[in-house]
A and B are shown apart, each in its own frame.
Chain A
């Protein structure tokens, strides 16, 4: 079994960063001091990812206020809107308001990537909002229909991928909770496929991962199986393995085996058992293991602690250790 591991979303900020960013807002520290701490903490995340044997590094995306802000603040057509609940959690994002059909600003998103990734793009995993979730979670006042917007966002994200491929990045993870929460049908589903086709044509040999979470992904599989992507990920805290459609599947199967909704550490043997069952059912080209949903629903310490299950499971699956 080919097993790959890595983060699937932002990592929590350390307690030191929590204090520093609070102090910055209250005028008790300087932007330079906070920047220095960001850099140091990103280094710690990269070191952790390396220590755990992850296949790519994310550096935690610690500076991003939320998944959409790097786009809402740099792409044309957007303004940053009100606080809005992030799925079924007690956390929030600022809802992007789309006033006009969107347009990208070349280089702007790349400038928001964590500096350690920019320095070593080949080892980096780029986090992006999926075009469908982006379209659902923004406030569309542009007059564009939803299918047209989904397709347009896919094309724009494809342009980002193209630019980042030229800069040396190779792996792109699209965060797509809404594909599971509100699976699209009809023209919206076709627009999602068209959007990812645009991404695929920009990949040029790179890897695209679509990661679903927030709800049971099984109802979305008729669509997920049609997406032209390298990996489809599901959150196993929400999705039952026995309900996954049987394979063989020509793409990688992402399995969210670390649950950020609880501080309870997963049992490696139990996780390995579930992964074997999922592999037997879907028969994917490879399994990609990671947190089921963004790990920043946890504080730094338990998030760090829980990640240690991943190398243990990988060993169990590839070396046959219990």
Chain B
């Protein structure tokens, strides 16, 4: 497929609109939610594709529609939101997902949820222990992908949590118990590798295979935990390679908020990874060049694509297209090849309001267009 220079993509989830949350709970929409639905419909045009759902929600008859149907409309909204901005690769804003750990784990055998762990303050999450050999009960995200495929006008890219992150966010009981003697560092490392590779082979790979059978061509494997233990980069790679072995699709790896230099060059052994989708904008401030780490990829001779995080997802301030274009220019200089750059936000935009997310994505698209125009029509 021939692509424009600096194509654009999303990375992860969007905030769920209020009308979707209220509608899924079968609550009558409050005025703010109704207004939100109307205004986004006017802007990105999605509700007319499901007029019955729209009319039930706006008409105060939420019980006339099933929660799943409201979720479908939420997914349609996410798609049209991203397509209307002008992204080349889209998904559904992860409209059906509420997190990236518990749902995949619940599709597998071998895990036990033993209670809540505090994330911070009064926020908690369920963390499972692996207590038996991992086995996949059902490939997941397949119906979700089918819906996206059936409705997307741009190329879809499916995000899925990677094996290393699923393992790192779980308690390793079963595989650690198999290690002889004291469960010190060496034993923990060996047990972690076994756990990650088993997850990859027995759960992630069959899921990826099912998705590919359903026509999924571009898959983003999310490994946010990769950066928390740089000394385990080899295990991240083992997991990625085992999950993708023998599969024919375009795989990308998203890692965020990490010291990428600490993961190199080990990470480059991820054989079937076609694109590194990393966060950079977050660290590009106060005289610090957040894109300089890309020089390391060039130095190691890595020629894969880069999904360039060009807007910070943790701040409401919207970067101008000129700032985005400047970041693209710098990245192109460091990589030595502008043709390898995709442009995207640092990470998922779900912590930002929908208007801010939209504005940031607009800057991504316009910034890419600016940089493209400069390269294609250089000033003399």
Interface residues of A (CB under 8 A from B): 12-13, 15, 18, 21-22, 24-25, 65-66, 83, 85, 88-94, 216, 236-240, 259, 261-264, 266, 270, 273-274, 296-302
Contacts and interface: CB of A to CB of B under 8 A. Distances in A.
Nearest to B130: A263
A239 B176 CA distance: 17
Most buried by A among B115, B169, B185, B228: B115
Given A261-B171, A301-B114, A237 B183 contact: yes
Interface residues of B, number: 30
Contacts of B257: 85
Given A299-B114, A302-B114, A91 B185 contact: no
A257 B283 CA distance: 38
Contact of B122 (A22, A262, A270, A297): A22
Given A21-B122, A237-B184, A263 B117 contact: no
6 contacts: A93-B120, A261-B172, A262-B173, A264-B172, A264-B173, A302-B171
Contacts of B147: none
Contact of B188 (A12, A237, A263): A237
B177 A90 contact: no
A18 B184 contact: no
A79 to B, nearest CB: 16
Given A12-B117, A240-B184, 8 more contacts: A65-B121, A93-B120, A236-B184, A237-B183, A262-B183, A264-B183, A270-B181, A301-B114
B116 A24 contact: no
A161 B168 CA distance: 38
Contacts of A12: 115, 117-118
Contacts of A296: 117-118
B124 interface: yes
Interface string B160-199: 0000000011011100110001111100100000000000
Contacts of A93: 120
Looking at chain B's contact residues, the main secondary structure is mixed
Nearest to B120: A92
A21 B122 CA distance: 6
A262 B176 contact: yes
B285 interface: no
A298 B117 contact: yes
B377 interface: no
Nearest 7 CB-CB pairs, A to B? A299-B115, A92-B120, A21-B122, A263-B129, A263-B171, A264-B173, A18-B116
Nearest to B169: A90
A263 B118 contact: no
A264 B176 contact: yes
B218 to A, nearest CB: 27
Nearest to B112: A263
A65 B119 CA distance: 10
Contacts of B127: 90, 299
A234 to B, nearest CB: 11
Contacts of A13: 116, 118
B236 to A, nearest CB: 14
B182 A274 contact: yes
Given A270-B182, A299-B127, A90 B119 contact: yes
A18 B228 CA distance: 26
Given A24-B122, A237-B188, A302 B169 contact: no
A302 B173 CA distance: 11
Contacts of B168: 90
B225 interface: yes
A65 to B, nearest CB: 5
Contacts of A274: 182
Contact of B119 (A92, A237, A259): A92
A266 B177 CA distance: 9
Nearest to B128: A263
Contact of B183 (A89, A266, A301): A266
B122 A15 contact: no
A262 B171 CA distance: 5
Contacts of B169: 90
Given A85-B228, A236-B184, A270-B182, A262 B116 contact: no
